[in-house]
Structure 1
Amino acid sequence: MAFPPQPDRFTFLHVDLNSFFASVEQQLHPEYRGRPLAVVPTMADTTCCIAASYEAKRLKIKTGTQVGEAKRICPDIVLIEGDHAVYSDYSARIAKAVELVCPVAHTPSIDEMSCELMGREQEPPRARKIALEIKQSIYKNVGEALRCSIGMAPNRYLAKIASDMQKPDGLIGLLPSQLPRAIAHLELRDLPGVGARTEARLNAKGITTMEQLLALDRNGMHKLWDSVWGDRLYHWLRGAESGDDGAPVSSGIQKSLGHSHVMAPEFRTPEGAWAVAHKLLHKAAMRLRMENFYTGSMAVTIRFSLTKEQAARIKAKRHFSGLTHSGWGMEARFRDCRDTLTLLEVLRGIWSQRPQGAEFQRPFFVGVTLRNLIPENEYQTELFVDPNNRAELSATMDKLNLKYGHTTLHFAGMLPARESAPTRIAFTQIPVQYGVDYM
C-alpha cells in the first residue's frame, strides 16, 4: 500500500526525562553527582533497583538489577530509598517548565510528556527551536542535574521512539521522507509495546529484525498481531497520524484500580501479609471514593516464597527479586459499593480461602485490585438506605485522612502495617495528591 507524500513536518514532540528518579536525587544532593547511584524501593539486597544514574548504567547497573548484584559490581554505589512524593513534585514542576514553552498534550508516565505542535511550529527548524527551549526551561526552572531526550515525529508513537534513540540529553527528529528507513536499524524491543514476551511471539512467527517487520504489508501486519494493533502499527511506523481507519479504539474509561507490595522481611508471615493487604485495601478504597467510582469486584493476589525442596515438588516461578515462588489469586463479585467496611468484609472472605500448608507460610507479595469500576453518575442508587451508615463513616474517615494523612484513621486490622507499603511509583501511573498525601 503506497502512502501519498506527506509534508516534512513534525506534529509531536516527546519529552523523556533521563534516569529521572536518580537525576532528582542528584539534583537534591550535589555530592552524589558524577557518582554511581541507584534508587531502591527498600533497603534490602533482595530487592531491585528502580532507577540508576548514568554513572551506574555505564557499569551495567540498570532498572531491575538486584541490589545485592549492584553492590557486588560497585561496592561504593550510593543507594537511596525512593520518595514518591518528591518525584511526583518534580514531575509537576517539569511539566510547568515545559508548559512555559509549549502546551503539554499528554502525560503517559511520570517521566514522560508529549506536546502537539500547531501550524508553523511543525516546520522542522521551528520544532527544533522549541525542543531546545524546553531543555533550557527545565535546566533553568527545575534543576541543572535534570536532563531530557526529545523525539520529534509526525505522530506520537514515532516521537516516543525517537526520544529513545539518543540518550542522555538527545534530540532526534524523524521526518516522513525518512521513513521507514530511518528506524530500520532498531531492535524489535525498541518499539513501544514490544516487550520480551511479544518479541518471543514475533520471533516464533519468523520476525526477528526490524527490517523483516517493515517489509510486511498491512495485511501481513494484521495477521502478525492477529488484531487491529497490527494495522495501526503499520501506519504509525510510516509516519501516518492515525492508523485506526475506523477501527474501535479504547474508550479510555478506567476499569480498575489497586495497589500491590513486595513486603519487607518482617511482614513475610500470614499475619503480616494480612495487615499489609488490609492497608492496601484502605488506600484503594479511599482512591475509589476520591476518583468517584463504585466497584463490584475485588481480586487478591498472594505470592509465597519456597525452599528448594518445595520448589522441586510444585510448578514454581522466579520473581525478579530472585525468590522462587508459587502464586495464588482469587476474585470475588459483590453488590456495587465503595465503603471501606463492606470492602473489608469481602477481603476477609477472600483471605479465608487462601491456600494452607507448609509451602504457603512465607508470603512476600500481596496485591489488591478493585475491578468493574462504575462511574458515580452511572451508579444505581440503592432502594433502602444503608442501615449502618457505612458510607457516612467512610466519608468521615476521608475528611480526617485528607487533612492529616491517609493512615490517620483506619480499622485496627492494618495497625501492624500502618507504616509499611508506602505509595510506590509505577512508571505508567503518576501518583495523585489527595489532601496532604500522594496515593
Structure 2
Amino acid sequence: MNSWVPKNGRVILHVDMNAFFASVEIANDPSLKGKPLVIAGNEKERRGIIVTASYEARAYGLKATMPLWEARKKCPNMVVKLPNHELYRKVSRQMFAKLGTITPLVEAASIDEGYLDITDCRDLGHPIEIAKKIQQILLDELGLPCSIGIAPNKFLAKTASDIKKPQGITILRKRDVPLTLWPKKIREMHGVGLKTEEKLNTIGIYTIEDLAKSDINKIQALLGSNGISLKNHANGIDEREVDPSRMLSYRTIGHSSTFSSDVSDEHIIASSFEKLSNRVCDRLRKKGLNAETISITLRFKDRKTITRSMTTQSPIQEGSSIFKEVMKLWKNNWNGEPLRLIGVTTSNLVAHDEVTKQLDLFSYEQDAKQEPLMETIQKLKNKFGEDIIGLGRSKQKINSKNILDVLKTTE
C-alpha cells in the first residue's frame, strides 16, 4: 500500500477536518486542549444540543445531537462553548487557502472538507508524502488536525478519509472495494440516507455488495439517475472531476413567471408561487445545494417592482419549505394590487453535504425546544424499556390550496 502510485488515472485526496468546530475553538484558546469540549447551545437557557464534540468528549460517549442534560450525566466535567459562526467561516477560508498552495484543483465540499486532484503534483512527492505535508501545514499553521483519504476518484477518497480518525491517512484502491466496502451495511455508504436505505431494503438490498451486484434497471426504476450513480459508487466507479468552480458558479438560483394578464386572485398567485418554489427546489437538488436566503419579486400592473428577502434559521432545500417562506414574504409585502410578474430566488447557497453532515449552527435551538419532553421520554424508557414510548410527528402538507389558511393560523 505504501508504494501505491497509479501509472494511469487520477490521484484524488479528500481532506476532512477532525471535529472542526471544536478544533477551531481549541486552536483559538489553547487552554481547552485535552479537555472534553462540546460546541452546543446555551445550557442555562436549555438550548443545549451538541453540535460537535472533541475527541476527548467522544471518549465519554458524547456526540452530535445529544442533549446537554444527557451529556452532563456521562461527562460532568465537560466544557461547553457556544458556536462561533463567523470564526468557523473565517478559519474555513484559511484552510482552503492553504490547500490551494498544493494544487489549484481544490473543490470545497463543505465548510470543513474538500477534494484535491494531485495527479500532476508528482514533483511534490508520493501521494502519502503530499498528504503528510498537508496535515503538517494545517496543524502547524492553523492548529487543526485532519484525516485524508487517497484514491483514484472522489467517492473512494471520501470513503477512505473516514477510515482512520483523527489524523489518519488511508489509501483506498478500486481493487480494495470488495473486501473493504462490500461487507458494510448500505446505510454506511456515502450518499445513502435513511429514505434511500428504506427504498433499497424493499428490493432486498441491505449491504453495499447487494447494491454493487444489483440489477441496474431495478435500481434506476427505484431511484432514477441517482440510483445509477450509487450502483457505480458501490463498485468503486466515480467519473466526477474535482471542480474548483462548483460552489462559486451558483451565487443564486431562481425562477420567475410572467402572467398573460394582471392577476389579483390569491389562489392563482399562490399556485404560481408553489410551482416556482418546486422548480427552484429541483435545481438546488441537482446542484447539491441548500439555501439560507429566500427572496421574492413582485411586479405590479404599473411596472413597479419590489424584492423582499428573509434568511432562514437553517439552510433549506425542500420545495414545500421554500414555498412556505415565500408565502410569508408575499403575505407581508403584497398590498392587494394586481401582479404582472412574480419570482422566487434563493441565495447564500451552501453544500447539502455540509447541512446534513453537521447540525446547522442555529438549528440546535429548534431541537432544544423539545429537551424537556426528550428528558421525560428518556426517563420512561430507562424505567420501562426502550419500546414504551417514542416521539410522534404529524406534519401538515403545505400547498397552494391550504397555504392561506395555514398562514392565518400562524398569525
- Structure 2 runs not aligned, ≥5 long: 1-5, 242-282, 294-310, 315-324, 334-341, 347-365, 374-389
| Displacement after TM superposition at 1:163 (Å) | 0.9
Query: RMSD over aligned Cα, in angstroms?
Result: 4.1
Distance 1:211 1:330, change over 3 A: closer
Residue 108, structure 1, aligned to residue 109, structure 2:
yes
1:261 to 302, 310, 313: 313
DSSP 3-state at the match of 2:50: coil
| Percent of matched pairs sharing the same residue | 28
Question: Which residue is equivalent to 1:177?
Answer: 175
Question: Structure 2: how far apart are the matches of 1:165 and 1:18?
Answer: 12
Q: Return the offset for 1:109.
A: 0.6
Secondary structure of 1:76's aligned partner: coil
SS at match of 1:179: helix
Kindly indicate whether the alpha-carbon contact (under 8 Å) linking 2:40 and 2:81 is maintained by their aligned counterparts in 1.
Answer: yes
Q: String of CA shifts for 1:245-304, please: whole Å, max 9, x gaps.
A: xxxx97649785434439xxxxxxxxxxxxxx99x97xxx9xxxxxxxx94379xxx999
Structure 1 SS opposite 2:205: coil
Quote the residue 1:119 is aligned against: 120
> 1:9, 1:176 within 8 Å by CA — same for their partners in 2?
no
Say whether residues 1:214 and 2:267 are aligned partners: no
Amino acid at match of 1:50: V
Match of 2:232 among 231, 235, 248: 235
Residues 49 and 67 in structure 1, CA contact (< 8 A), matched pair in contact too:
yes
TM-score (norm 2): 0.59
Q: Secondary structure at the match of 1:177?
A: helix
1:192 is paired with a residue of what secondary structure?
A: coil
Instruction: Note closer, same or farther for the CA distance 1:25–1:122 as it changes in structure 2 (3 Å cut).
Output: same
| Distance in structure 1 (CA, Å) of the matches to 2:123 and 2:234 | 19
Partner of 2:140: 140
Matching residue of 1:24: 24
Paired with 1:20 and 1:305, the residues of 2 have a C-alpha distance of 26
Distance 1:23 1:257, change over 3 A: closer
CA distance in 1, matches of 2:393, 2:218: 39
Instruction: Judge conservation of contact 1:235–1:243 (CA < 8 Å) in 2.
Output: no
Against the structure 1 CA distance between its residues 127 and 295, is the aligned structure 2 distance closer, same or farther, given a 3 Å change threshold? farther
CA positional deviation for 1:190 = 2.5
In 1, the alpha carbon distance for the partners of 2:393 and 2:194 equals 21
Match of 2:152 in 1: 154
Distance 1:351 1:47, change over 3 A: farther
Distance 1:307 1:151, change over 3 A: closer
Residue 186 of structure 2 corresponds to which residue in structure 1?
188
The DSSP-based 3-state class of the residue aligned with 1:79 is: strand
Q: 1:429 corresponds to which residue? A: none
Q: Cα offset for 1:113?
A: 0.9
Give deviations 1:309-358, integer Å, cap 9, x for gaps: xxxxxxxxxxxxx987755575679xxxxxxxxxxxxxxxx7885364xx
| Counterpart residue number, 1:69 | 70
Aligned in 2, Cα 1:215/1:181: closer, same or farther, shift over 3 Å?
A: farther
Distance 1:167 1:307, change over 3 A: closer
Are 1:33 and 2:33 counterparts? yes
Deviation (angstroms), 1:64: 1.0
Partner Cα separation in structure 2 for residue 218 and residue 7 of structure 1: 31
Deviation at 1:111, TM superposition (A): 0.7
Give the match for residue 345 of structure 1: none
Seen in structure 2, the aligned counterparts of structure 1 residues 256 and 46 have a Cα distance that, compared at 3 Å, is closer
Residues 19 and 306 from structure 1, CA distance in 2 versus in 1: closer, same or farther, beyond 3 angstroms?
Answer: closer
SS in 2 for 1:236: helix
With over 3 angstroms needed to count, the CA separation of the structure-2 counterparts of 1:353 and 1:243, relative to structure 1, is closer
* 1:227 partner letter: G
Secondary structure of the residue aligned to 1:193 is: coil
What SS class does the counterpart of residue 38 from structure 1 fall into?
strand
Structure 1 residue runs of 5 or longer lacking an equivalent are: 1-5, 263-276, 286-293, 309-321, 334-349, 362-439
Check if 1:296 corresponds to 2:349.
no
Aligned with 1:82: secondary structure? coil
Contact 1:100 1:137 in 2 (8 A): no
How far, CA to CA, are the matches of 1:325 and 1:307 in structure 2? 17
Contact 2:178–2:209, Cα closer than 8 Å, also in 1: no
CA distance in 2, matches of 1:175, 1:96: 28
SS of structure 2 residue aligned to 1:139: helix
Q: Distance in 1 between matches of 2:371 and 2:78?
A: 30
Closer, same or farther: CA 355–169 of 1 in aligned 2, 3 Å: same
1:354 aligned partner, one-letter code:
L
Cα distance in 2, alignment partners of residues 76 and 306 from structure 1: 21
